Amino acid sequence: MSNFLLTFKSFGENAVLIEWPKEIDETILKDVLHFKSKIEASLGTDVKEVRSAYQSLLVVYDRAINHTKCIPRLKQIYGENFGSKLTMCSKLWRIPVCYEDCFGIDLERIAKLNNLSKEAIIHLHAKPVYTVFFLGFLPGFLYLGGLDAKLHTPRNAQPRLHVEKGAVAIGGKQTGVYPNKSPGGWNIIGNTPITFFSPKSKAPCFASAGDRIQFYPVLFEEYSKIKELVETDAFSLENEVWNG
Amino acid sequence: MVRVIKAGILSSIQDMGRMGYQNLGIPYSGAMDAKAALMANAVLGNKSNDAILEMTMTGDTLKFECETLICLTGAFMSPKLNQKSIVNNKVVEVRSGDVLSFGALKTGFRTYLAVKGGFQSEKVLGSRSMYSGITDTFKLKKGAQLSLNSYAKGSGIKYAGVKVNDSYFNSQTIRVYKGPEFYLLSEAQQHKLMSHVFTISKHNNRMAYQLNELLDNSLDQIITSPVLPGTVQLTPSGNLIVLMRDCQTTGGYPRVLQLTEAAINTLAQKYTGQTIQFL
């Protein structure tokens, strides 16, 4: 750990951008999140937020900073050994998805483009354990890694103006869930009754960077049952501690 | 209570933004021209994070149903209280039944209305800043009611106005730092970016300002990485996009420049067709 060659760049007057090698890789993600925890444990309230992405961290301070002082301090923190002082806890979340035709409006298109049956698409999509690299694009939108190469499908040339909340979709090499109704160009293969973003609750999104996601197919009847429970706040999402 | 008699084009309650939730993909939001918003609160002796009303291009017609003090800052939209002209940057006493209205936009683009003690609207995730999908509403509509605590003025108190230098509205100069991907640009691109005059396109809103002139671009997209308000992105087709307060938390376009905080405030007071130059 902590042995990557990082670059530290000033990003405007009150932020530092830290970059790892230009790759999407789980070892890098682990190091990014580890460094993030170390920064959060070391720096005081003058840090407004530490934001992570695939291979970068953004440290935003609450005022203009002297980069020539802040960057050496960050480098020092990267090299420090925190031992067992930091506990990183990841979870695996199981997400029900209804892949039936009423939701999977682009299954046909993907089937044709990739020369697969609909059943094969559903099987290949529900099989892997996906890694949550980070959240972005929309509140509660998870950037997931681990989509089977057989399912890689170009985005729709003409994005839809309205994609339903909960739509499960494939865009290029990625898969994801639309947390809310929004425009979008990804291919829609199903819908989940689970709410990925609820701004009024204390934890607006259950998942965070480093967690794992697995989808499992449900029939429309079960989808409706779960949706009803979710709407009355009576559904508890299955999860377990992930030590991958 | 304040009742919205007539709503402007885009008016919303804002404070200094929603901090600490960016890892969930939640934008900062907050007053576009933070300087003007802070000024309005300061004149009234409010806290810097008290919620103000941001009005874009046109003002709202508002009926006050309680006594309070108000202050207007930012763009000058020919404000009137009960049909009588009032000025920006001064404390104005308001009584129950008074109607605040606006006329022609004279300078700037966004006006801020602060009330004594701040608007007491819905607070979500630590902030009153309105944002679609987070707060119940994201803009003021006719008939809406805004809560505030009534404030009875002390008798005989004279309120001082402040002399505000609004010249930052008119500055064509937008101060910037090099962005993380600036060094990927060729010398010719860097020169063009820093010497040309760019025009604000009609695609300008709280999320981003696009510029009309293109910058020939051969850069690939980057691996999706954090962006900030004030980040200038360069798209594959050569469009320059200046991100503003409601921007996404991450992006995949090269980040060629980063505006200073002051420059974000200046740009927030500009509109379609006006020109800027990066420095």
Predicted confidence (pLDDT) per residue in A114-130, tens digit:
999 999 999 999 999 99
Residue in B51, B64, B50, B71 with CA at minimum distance from that of residue B1: B64
Of A9, A24, A51, the CB nearest to B180: A9
Does the beta-carbon distance from A55 to B223 stay under 8 Å? yes
Question: Does B22 sit within 8 Å of A51, measured CB to CB?
Answer: yes
pLDDT at B220 > cutoff 90: no
Residue B84 scores a pLDDT above 60: yes
Q: How far apart are the first and last CA of chain A?
A: 16
pLDDT confidence of residue B155: 61
Domain limits of chain B?
2-167, 171-278
Interface contact A120, partner B, CB < 8 A: no
CATH 2.40.100.10 fits A90-242, yes or no: yes
Contacts of B228 in chain A (CB under 8 A): 11-12, 15, 58, 60
The dihedral of CA A185, A186, A187, A188: what is its sign? negative
Residue A223: what pLDDT?
98
B22, B124, B258: residue with CB nearest A12: B258
Q: Assess contact for A90 and A242: CB atoms under 8 A.
A: yes
Nearest to A225 by CA among A217, A216, A235, A215: A235
Whether B5 shows a pLDDT value over 90: the answer reads yes
Domain layout of chain A by residue ranges: 7-85, 90-242
CB atoms within 10 A of CB A113: 14
Contact B225 A53 (CB under 8 A): yes
For the question of whether the overall pTM of this predicted structure is more than 0.90, the answer is yes
> How far is Cα B57 from Cα B139, in angstroms, rounded to an integer?
14
B189-215 per-position pLDDT tens digit: 999 999 999 999 999 999 999 999 999
The one-character DSSP state at B184 is G
Closest to B26 in 3D by CA, of A153, A125, A197, A3: A197
Handedness of CA B45, B47, B52, B57 (dihedral sign): positive
Specify the pLDDT at position B164.
Answer: 81
Mean pLDDT of all residues in B94-105? 97
pLDDT range class, residue B26, cuts 50, 70, 90 = very high
Mutate which of A8, A9, A23, A173 to disrupt the B interface (most B C-beta within 10 Å)? A9
Contacting A residues, span 199-238, partner chain B, CB-CB under 8 Å:
199-200, 204-205, 208-209
Angstrom distances, CA of residue A61 to CA of A130, A134, B14, B40, B156: 32, 21, 21, 25, 43
A·B CB contacts under 8 A: 103
Q: What is the CATH number of domain A7-85?
A: 3.30.1360.40
B218 CB-near residues (< 8 Å, 6+ apart)? none
DSSP of A205-227: -S--TT-EEEEEE--HHHHHHHH
For B248, which of A12, A15, A136 is closest by C-beta distance?
Answer: A136
ipTM over 0.90: yes
Query: How much is the pLDDT for B236?
Result: 87
Please tell me the distance in Å from A18's CA to the nearest CA on chain B. Answer: 10
Which parts of chain A register pLDDT below 70? Answer: 1-2, 244
How far off is chain B from A58, nearest CA to CA, in Å? 7
In this model, does residue B65 exceed pLDDT 80?
A: yes
Is the per-residue pLDDT at B156 higher than 70? no
Query: Topology of B171-278 in CATH?
Result: Cyclophilin (2.40.100)
Subunit contact A22:B26, Cβ cutoff 8 A? no
Other Cβ atoms less than 10 A from the Cβ of B157: the count is 9
> A142 in helix, strand or coil?
strand
